[in-house]
Amino acid sequence: NEELQSSNEELETSKEELQSINEELQTVNAELNLRVDELSRANNDMANLLESTQIATIFLDRDLCIKSFTPATRDLFRLVESDVGRPLAHVRPRFAADGLQADIEQVLQRLGTIERQIQSAESDTRYIMRVLPYRTIDNVIAGVVVTFVDVTRIARAEERIGSLTHDLRNRIESLETLLDLVPVGIVIAGVGDSQEFRANRRAAELAGEPLSGAKLTSMPTALDVVREGKALDAVDQPLAMAIRTGEAVPQYEARIEKPGSTGVDVMVSATPLFDESGKVRGAISTLVDISRHKEAERSQERLLHELQHRVKNILSTITALTSRMIRSSHSMADFSTAFQERLQGMARTHELLSQHNWERAGLKELLRMTLAPYEARDRQNVVLEGGPVQLNASAAATLGMVFFELASNAAKYGALETENGRVEVKWRIGEPGGSLSIVWKEIDGPVVEEPLKKSFGTTFIQQSLNYELGGSVDLKFKESGLECSLQIPLSLAGATDVPVKDE
């Protein structure tokens, strides 16, 4: 009995131990089921993650055999489920993969990462291929992971951006070239550009700024602008006003003062520039050089004043000429003929001056024009000798009449009346502040004698030189012909020895 009781006790103890073990097994089984559920969820999450990202991924073991792959990988390799366990090198890819095996082996050896861009051989789809080691949680290298990310849209977008950038660069280059070529000064300013503006070549030239190698030159934000005699402050200048008010500044005349220069007259205007939201982002200003226009206006005013003065002098000359000729003429017929000849001579002189805007006339040109009606074909009867001399309008008009009187007298009574006679005219300019000396000499003409009474022509020559030009006349009546010496102060004749083309 004691043995039986002892056996029962042992059985009870064993039963309790079995119950305890069973409870432990149930607990372990519950934990195992929980782990299985967690692993299942993790696998599902990973599968859905890989599916949602559409990233082609191949997992390889250390022998570079396929452990698993995502469905998207079939676009890059001809894979089926039975390929699991096969070496990747035995699977034919759908892209140029000459260096793929070497890249995988290198990553497995060096534990680095290799990234390349590839393109499908069957389409224009492009991928970023990344090869990296497969690390376990315990930091053990268990193989290689190869991923392929579709970057076709990104690549196309980059190409489009590159094309647009190239096109934009060309447009900017064309615009800058245009700005560099236009004869109008253009200045561009942006909001916040507190130190400098950008200007094209013409604007920099007008402002007196040094040119840089770029098509747009940096320049100060304020120029020395004068409007109606008043210097404009920086805030009142067109660009600043357009930026401040957001309104266009109508063009107006102004003057840009430049260091070491008399300045330049310009028409200036400005208009604001707006961004997409309608805010002022800057302004652009134009500078049009009107110096020639202003000079033309001043020249026109001078010409008008000179014309008024000349008309007044011409009328006075004609009045005096008429009065003197009436007193010296024997008949109205003589008066009419002589008067018309003198008017024609005066008209030729005025025509010559008109060709030079009533500013000057060449002495030689004036003599050639006056003597042209009397010259022989070979021009042997007229000799002109002297350097290039320019006369002002007043001196040219007076000397034109004097030369006409001398030429007319030579044709009627002097050297130009005979076949072998000739006229020599020589001139020279004396020292600065001196005089212009002109010698009219008739040779091989009829014998001349000094008249007992001064003729109209002699009186006209002497009085014209004296009163109009402050000069003097010396008439010598030689047997060989008349010799007339004229002395004219340079200050009144405006004579210069600057050569011109028409001389």
Per-residue pLDDT tens for 98-143?
889 999 999 999 999 999 999 988 888 899 999 999 998 888 999 9
Provide the pLDDT for residue 229: 84
Residue-wise pLDDT for 66-95, tens only, equals 999 988 888 899 899 899 999 999 998 989
- Residue 180: band (very low, low, confident or very high) from pLDDT cuts 50, 70, 90: confident
pLDDT of residue 48 exceeding 80: no
Provide the pLDDT for residue 102: 92
180 vs 61, more confident: 61
Tokens standing for residue 407 = 């030429």
Mean pLDDT over residues 183-201, rounded? 77
Mean pLDDT over residues 303-311, rounded? 72
Rounded Cα distance between 298 and 229, Å, is 17
Going across the sheet that includes 225-227, the strands are: 217-220, 196-199, 185-190, 280-289, 264-274, 249-256, 225-227, 230-231
494 vs 226, more confident: 226
Provide the pLDDT for residue 129: 94
Residue-wise pLDDT for 311-336, tens only, equals 666 666 566 556 655 655 567 776 66
Q: Tokens 């070529």 sit at which residue?
A: 181
- The torsion angle over the Cα atoms of residues 356, 358, 360 and 363, rounded to 10 degrees, is 90
- Residue 443: band (very low, low, confident or very high) from pLDDT cuts 50, 70, 90: very high
Q: Where are the domains of the chain?
A: 54-150, 182-289, 294-493
Tokens standing for residue 423 = 């006229």
Domain 54-150, second-level architecture = 2-Layer Sandwich (3.30)
- Residue 177: band (very low, low, confident or very high) from pLDDT cuts 50, 70, 90: confident
Q: Are 286 and 239 in contact (CB under 8 A)?
A: no
Task: Give percent of the chain above pLDDT 90.
Answer: 26
Rounded Cα distance between 73 and 93, Å, is 10
CATH of domain 294-493: 3.30.565.10
Taking domain 182-289, whether its CATH number is 3.30.1490.20 is answered by no
pLDDT of residue 211 exceeding 70: no
Provide the pLDDT for residue 212: 66
Same fold flag, 54-150 and 182-289: yes
Q: What rounded mean pLDDT belongs to the chain?
A: 83
Angle between helices 332-355 and 363-371 (to 10 degrees): 140
pLDDT of residue 502 exceeding 50: no
Rounded Cα distance between 436 and 423, Å, is 19
Name the phi and psi angles at 133, rounded to 5: -70, 150
Rounded Cα distance between 409 and 456, Å, is 11
Provide the pLDDT for residue 321: 54
- Residue 404: band (very low, low, confident or very high) from pLDDT cuts 50, 70, 90: confident
Residue-wise pLDDT for 357-383, tens only, equals 767 888 999 898 888 888 876 668 899
- Residue 483: band (very low, low, confident or very high) from pLDDT cuts 50, 70, 90: very high
Exposure letters 190-221 (e unless 16+ CB within 10 A, then b): eeeeeeebbbbbbbbbbbbbeeeeebbbebee
Tokens standing for residue 381 = 């009867």
pLDDT of residue 61 exceeding 90: yes
Rounded Cα distance between 109 and 270, Å, is 69
Rounded Cα distance between 385 and 291, Å, is 40
First to last CA, the chain: 165
Mean pLDDT over residues 275-288, rounded? 90
